[in-house]
Amino acid sequence: MPELQQLFNRHRKYIFFLLSFYVLGWGFTSYQSIFLGLILGTGISLFSHWLIMRRTVRFGDAVEAGQKVRSLGTFSRMAGAAFAVIIATEYPEHLHLLSVIIGLMTIYLVIMIDYFIQQLKSHK
Amino acid at 120: L
CA dist., res. 9 & res. 100, Å (int): 23
Q: HEC states along 40-62? A: HHHHHHHHHHHHHHHHHHHHHHH
Burial class for 63, CB neighbours closer than 10 Å (0-12, 13-18, 19+) = exposed
pTM: 0.89
Q: What is the pLDDT of residues 34-91, one digit of tens each?
A: 999 999 999 999 999 999 999 988 888 888 888 887 777 889 999 999 999 999 999 9
